Structure 1
Amino acid sequence: MTTSILDSRPLFELGAEIHIAASADKIYSIVSDMKRHSEWSSELQDGKWLSGEPGQVGSIFEGENFRSDDIVSWAPLIRGIWHTKSEVVETTPGRAFRWKIHSKTGEPQELTWSFLIEPTEDGATLSQTFRMGYASPGIHEITKDMDEADKRKFIADWTAKMTRDITETLGKIKVVVEKD
C-alpha cells in the first residue's frame, strides 16, 4: 500500500527571506501589526481583533480573505471571500512574530505563519515561513475526491503558489518598511 502525500510530516514547510534597510525593532513593529497585513498579503483584505490585546500572545484575529478563480484553478478551493481566525503564539520584539490558524471549530491547528528577524550591520534580514505539520481539515476537504496523483499535483501546485506569495509578500513589506 502506498502512503499518501497527505501523510507527510510536515506537509508544508517553506519560506523566504529578504534584507531590509531598517532596524529589527522597526520591522517588528510593522509585521506584528496584523491590521497592516492587508498592505502586503496576497489574500488578506481586512481583519479585526476578536479578543485579547492586539498583537499579544493569545489574542485572536479574524481575517477577511479573498481568493480569485485563477489560483490553482483546477482544484476545488474556496473562492471569493472567506474568513480565518488566527491566534498569536509568539511575540519576541525585534526577533519573531508567529500565529496559528484555527480550524473551523476554533481549535489551533498545526498551521503556523512566522516572521523572523535577524539584525545585520546595515538593517535586518526578514524571513517569512509557513509550516503545516499535518494535513489540515481544509486540505482533506479540498482533496477528498482526488486520486493520489491529483493530491500530489495539488500539494506541488499549492507549494509553488505559497512560495510565490511569500516572496512577493516580503518584497512588499520591504517597500512599506523602507518607506515608513
Structure 2
Amino acid sequence: MPDLTAKITVAAPADTLYALVSDLPRMGEWSPECTGVTWNSRTPGPATGARFIGRNRSGVARWPTQGRVLEAEPGRRFTFEIFFGPLQVALWSYDFTVTDGGCEVTESWTDRRPAALKFTMNTIVGDRVKINEYGIRTTLERLKAAAEN
C-alpha cells in the first residue's frame, strides 16, 4: 500500500503522459528533487527490467540512487523501484486512466526504507513524507503543463 498518492486530470492522451513519465532522463524537468537519470547501457529503458542511475538534490544534500523498472505498460502503468546502495528505499508508480478529454495521472510512493535509515535520513534531509508530498504535487503539475502545451 502506498504511503502517498496524488492524482491530476490532464487534457492529453494517456499515451502522451506515459511517454513523458517513462522518459526517465527527462525526470529532472518534472521533479523538484530528481535532477536527472541515466539508463544503464546494458539494460536501456523504458522497459521492464531496465536499470538506471538517478541523481537527486534536496537543499544542499546531493546523492545518487540506482533504479529498476518493474512495470512498463504504455498508456497504463509505469513503476520502478529505487535503491540506495544495497537497500531498497522506495517504489514509485504512475497509473494512467483514460477520461473524457484526456486522462487522470496517479503518482504513488511507497517508502521501503528500513526504520534506522528513515530516522537517519529524516535527520539529514528532513521529513521524507512532507518532502515527497510537495514533490509529487509539483511533478504532476509540471507533467500537466508539459502535456497540455
Deviation at 1:137, TM superposition (A): 6.0
Answer yes or no: is the 8 Å Cα contact 2:51–2:67 preserved in 1. Answer: yes
1:104 maps to what in 2?
85
What do the CA deviations read for 1:47-82 (whole angstroms, capped 9, x no partner)? 21113131111111101111214xxxxxxxxx1x21
Among 80, 102, 108, the residue aligned to 1:129: 108
Q: Match for residue 54 of structure 2? A: 63
Match of 2:27 in 1: 37
Does structure 1 residue 158 correspond to structure 2 residue 128? yes
Within 1, Cα distance between the matches of 2:84 and 2:116?
7
Unaligned runs of 5+ in 2: none
Q: Report the RMSD for the aligned CA atoms in angstroms.
A: 2.1
Is the contact made by 2:90 and 2:111 (CA closer than 8 Å) also made in structure 1? yes
C-alpha separation in 2, matches of 1:134 and 1:65:
17
Describe the superposition over 1:14-67 as per-residue Cα deviations: whole angstroms up to 9, x where unpaired. Answer: 011100001111111111110111101111112211131311111111011112
Give the structure 2 partner of residue 95 of structure 1. 76
CA distance in 2, matches of 1:87, 1:137: 23
How many residue pairs align between the two structures? 146
Supply the distance in 1 between the matched residues of 2:13 and 2:5 (Cα, whole angstroms).
21
CA distance in 1, matches of 2:115, 2:52: 19
**Greater share of strand residues, 1 or 2?**
2
Question: How many angstroms apart in 2 are the aligned matches of 1:136 and 1:25?
Answer: 37
Q: What residue number does 2:141 align with?
A: 171
Correspondence for 1:48: 38
TM superposition score normalised by structure 2: 0.87
Paired residues of 2:55 and 2:65 also in contact (CA < 8 A): yes
SS of structure 2 residue aligned to 1:94? coil
TM (norm. structure 1) is 0.73
Q: Percent identity?
A: 28
Aligned counterparts of 1:92 and 1:137: Cα–Cα separation in 2: 34
